[in-house]
Structure 1
Amino acid sequence: MGTTVPISFDNTENAFAYKTDKELKKTKILFSSMECQLLVRWGTKVTPWVLKAGLPVKGLIRHTIFKQFVGGETLEETAQVAQKLGNYNVRVILDYGVEGGENDEAAFNHSMEEFIRVIRYAATQPNIPFISIKVTGFARKGLLEKLDASVSDQQGSLMKRYAKAVESLSDEERAEWQSVQRRMEKICRTAAEKGIGVLVDAEETWIQDPVDVITILMMERFNISKVVVYNTIQLYRHDRLNFLKDSLEAAEQRHFMLGAKLVRGAYMEKERERAAAMAYPSPIQPGKADTDRDYNDSIAFCIDHINKIGVIVATHNEYSNRYATELLQQKGLSLHHPHVHFSQLYGMSDHITFNLAKAGCPVSKYLPFGPIRDVVPYLMRRAQENSSVAGQAGRELGLIKKELQRRNL
């Protein structure tokens, strides 16, 4: 067993080295405003409306919350942010928040082409190893929901239940689903050819099963000698640790390498509300401690099977990040192991990201980009997340103040 050298996340000089004094002061003002939950609640309700109404607020948004959490409106703008992060050994996961229309095949095909365009661009950059995609960007939600419900009604393993569910579709729906698979296959094939990893976002529970299935099918096709495709596993669901273990079993049976991006989750309130309204058991863990336990157990499971799994530890939780590094060291494995990657959202938890990078860990910022009107929903989630009681604003603000004090500002 190796020795363990703890990684500290308290070094604010490392955390904010990439920010000028002016930028750090602006960040302090932004996070100070996020501490006011009333202001955030009002802002998240009003902002989408004023943008839709055409009121002149884009400039204000661009120079505040947009600049903090988004790479830019275009790939060219985002390149400047990626290059700046790269100077500090921090990589980038590109995310273009493109969404197709509910019943528009042309829009779905356009979304596919946009994802492919981002992959090709990433392949020209030195520090963009991954892109993120959403299946709902090129598949109708109604179709996914019908498939998911049918899968749930079947017996047996996920793949067997899926096969029976597809049989229950109409001829038109089967053709539509085949088009979804073709789009996904084209995206993943391009990524494999260009050497870029594809992180498939998680969705709500009522459309997740077909997303899991199509992702497993792509892993079976492209994760042969290396991990190209990663599934996102939300550990705030009480069934996901078992799903992770079942996924490895499927990978072993089908002879492919498993890709797993571990997150805590993004749809908790929506999931609980729907379960209560429709009178079915909530898929969400009873409490935060249960989520934390399963998240850390998932890290341990992946590292225990590191030769068969590529894992992305995507979390703002200090303990979970430190735990992953300690497990690697205890097993005598390099912190720069090719099957382990760390990630945090751009604009948050710099004390984790940059201190991991300083310690030699491969780490990326999840970097969304796109027109302001398209990323507003993402921005509103970041504002709500940071203002919540269990959110980040207080911790972020304390670290920023500490660094300003260190700089005598």
Structure 2
Amino acid sequence: MLQHRNISNTTEKKISTAGQPTIPPASLPGVKSVEKTYLDTLTSGELFGYLVIGMATINRPLLNLVIRLFPYTPLWIIRALVYQNYCGGDNLPQVLKTGERLAQRGIRNMMVSYTVEACDGKQMSVSIEKIIEETQRSVSEALSPHTAAMIEEVISQAEPAQVSKAINEVPPGYVALKPTGLIEGAAEVLLNYDNPKYADRFNELVKNCESVCDIAVAENQKLKEKYPARDSPFVVIVVDAERNDLQQGVYKLQRDLMAKYNRSSVPGAKPTLGDACVVGTVQMYLKESSSILKLDDELARKGNYILGWKLVRGAYIHSEPNRGVIHDTKKDTDVNYDAGISQTIANMNSGNPTVGHLVVASHNGSTQLKATTLLEQLGNGENAQKVRSNVVLGQLLGMADNITYDLIKNHNTKNIIKYVPWGPPLETKEYLLRRLEENGDAVRADSGWPLVKGILGTFMKRAF
């Protein structure tokens, strides 16, 4: 369907395509040059998982067939073949192991998401209480200790004069809140967020989110005492987007949370960079997105709080029945997205910022490189350093690894994270299906025959 290309996340030629990104090694006399690719950073198990994906996405008809058969594929087969590439695990110890594997590749933090939700009347596999408990634990038992461990690692490798800079090169850890997984009948509650009859239910949703935010605030305070030179939060709460008909309720939810938590630690003082503990999501493929950003800016100025944004192109194009709410062309979406990034970074670098934290969530290599270049152009002033500490690039676990590798190795980019879903096996299977349905074109662009050839070549190098 032609419209699927409106928000395609495929990359332009500035970033190497899957299976092809290379870093030429230093020339040594008598040594044969062997090109190094991002595939060389992966374990054999991860390579095999990507080989399966590559073979399943060689062309669009085959990808469509895989999507149709996926719901009937036994869970044990999925877990054996591709689970570790796209999901962080069933439990928090496994999530921490995933974090360690990412750190070995230069990706020092994660955005974790307990992948349970209820929308369209779907019955959740676990209780609301369990979801909240596991999400709270992901802050205190995974993100906070992992972030501290990463900071300790960079401190141990830094010269004494560079410790402060090193501390700020470690991105925060993020926990994503899925509104449709945090209250029974979530779709109905979000659809009726402004209906007085649903006020108590909506307030219950807010309270459930606050119970996670409160733990993040406590962890940030604890780590700030240990690392006072830190310019960004250690742990950040992110409110994920939902499909468009629910999104107005989500905007209200994330505004309420930002108004409560994104304030200066000094009562009454104006908040600034690093004070944004809560980040809201805006989908830039929506025509209304620029007006949403403008409205949020006005509300933050009036309310004396600071904004946190995660800007995404948008993940619900396949399920959006009202095509009129989406930008007419991919170019329109790209222009809108890049303008949002540029304007936000300029806002953060101004003398009177209303945005205190930004996550550039994209699988588009040109966009990620543009954000990196904009940050480099800020110079080396104190405020510029604070801005860089509060802008993070993010991609889904298992996707855009070639872009991640290129940015780390060729551009010395350190502010990169991966979105790591985790949770009950059945729910994570459904997450994987959604990735194929919603990001199929991007998966195919990252995979297919070039990836298969690259992996086979990597196995050959390891064998010989």
Instruction: Identify whether the pair has TM-score above 0.5, normalized to the shorter chain.
Output: yes
| Map of 2:166 onto structure 1 | none
Query: TM-score, length-normalised on structure 1?
Result: 0.81
| Map of 2:156 onto structure 1 | none
| Map of 1:345 onto structure 2 | 396
| Map of 1:169 onto structure 2 | 196
Deviations 1:304-338 (A, max 9, x none): 11153211011010110111111122222459811
Question: How do 1:375-394 residues align onto structure 2 when only pairs under 5 Å count?
Answer: 375-385=428-438, 387-388=440-441, 391-394=442-445
Question: How do 1:198-237 residues align onto structure 2 when only pairs under 5 Å count?
Answer: 198-225=237-264, 226-237=275-286
1:27 to 32, 45, 50: 50
Deviation at 1:35, TM superposition (A): 2.3
Task: Determine the C-alpha separation between the residues in 2 that align with 1:143 and 1:27.
Answer: 39
**Conserved in 2, the CA contact under 8 Å of 1:329 and 1:335?**
no
| Map of 1:11 onto structure 2 | 22
**Conserved in 2, the CA contact under 8 Å of 1:100 and 1:108?**
no
Question: How do 1:110-189 residues align onto structure 2 when only pairs under 5 Å count?
Answer: 110-121=130-141, 122-126=143-147, 127=150, 129-139=173-183, 140-147=186-193, 165=194, 168-170=195-197, 173-189=198-214
Q: Secondary structure at the match of 1:261?
A: strand
Change (3 A) 1:242 1:193: same
Question: How do 1:55-74 residues align onto structure 2 when only pairs under 5 Å count?
Answer: 57-74=74-91
| Map of 2:376 onto structure 1 | 329
Task: Determine the C-alpha separation between the residues in 1 that align with 2:85 and 2:122.
Answer: 34
Task: Determine the C-alpha separation between the residues in 2 that align with 1:363 and 1:229.
Answer: 18
**Conserved in 1, the CA contact under 8 Å of 2:191 and 2:245?**
yes
Task: Determine the C-alpha separation between the residues in 2 that align with 1:354 and 1:337.
Answer: 19
AA aligned to 1:337 is R
Q: Which moved more, 1:93-102 or 1:375-384?
A: 93-102
Deviation at 1:16, TM superposition (A): 2.9
Change (3 A) 1:248 1:206: same
Q: Secondary structure at the match of 2:200?
A: helix
Deviation at 1:21, TM superposition (A): 4.8
Q: Secondary structure at the match of 1:16?
A: helix
Q: Which moved more, 1:15-24 or 1:356-365?
A: 15-24
Deviation at 1:42, TM superposition (A): 3.4
| Map of 1:161 onto structure 2 | none
| Map of 1:374 onto structure 2 | 427
Percent identity over the alignment? 26
Is 1:249 the counterpart of 2:298 in the alignment? yes
Question: How do 1:286-301 residues align onto structure 2 when only pairs under 5 Å count?
Answer: 286-301=328-343
- Count of paired positions: 367
Deviations 1:55-110 (A, max 9, x none): xx222110223222111122222221111111233121111112259699993333
Is 1:317 the counterpart of 2:364 in the alignment? yes
Query: TM-score, length-normalised on structure 2?
Result: 0.72
| Map of 2:287 onto structure 1 | 238
**Conserved in 1, the CA contact under 8 Å of 2:58 and 2:447?**
no
RMSD between superposed Cα atoms in Å: 2.7
**Conserved in 1, the CA contact under 8 Å of 2:176 and 2:237?**
yes
Is 1:269 the counterpart of 2:318 in the alignment? yes
Structure 2 residue runs without a partner (length 5+): 1-13, 24-35, 151-171, 221-234, 265-274
**Conserved in 1, the CA contact under 8 Å of 2:348 and 2:387?**
no
Task: Determine the C-alpha separation between the residues in 2 that align with 1:299 and 1:354.
Answer: 21
AA aligned to 1:299 is I
Task: Determine the C-alpha separation between the residues in 1 that align with 2:42 and 2:15.
Answer: 20
Q: Which moved more, 1:117-126 or 1:394-403?
A: 394-403
Is 1:76 the counterpart of 2:90 in the alignment? no
Change (3 A) 1:42 1:337: same
**Conserved in 1, the CA contact under 8 Å of 2:114 and 2:131?**
no
Task: Determine the C-alpha separation between the residues in 2 that align with 1:131 and 1:348.
Answer: 19
Structure 1 residue runs without a partner (length 5+): 1-6, 51-56, 148-164, 276-280
Deviations 1:258-299 (A, max 9, x none): 10001111111321x2x2xxxxx7211101111111000000
Change (3 A) 1:125 1:320: same
| Map of 1:283 onto structure 2 | 325
Deviation at 1:402, TM superposition (A): 4.4
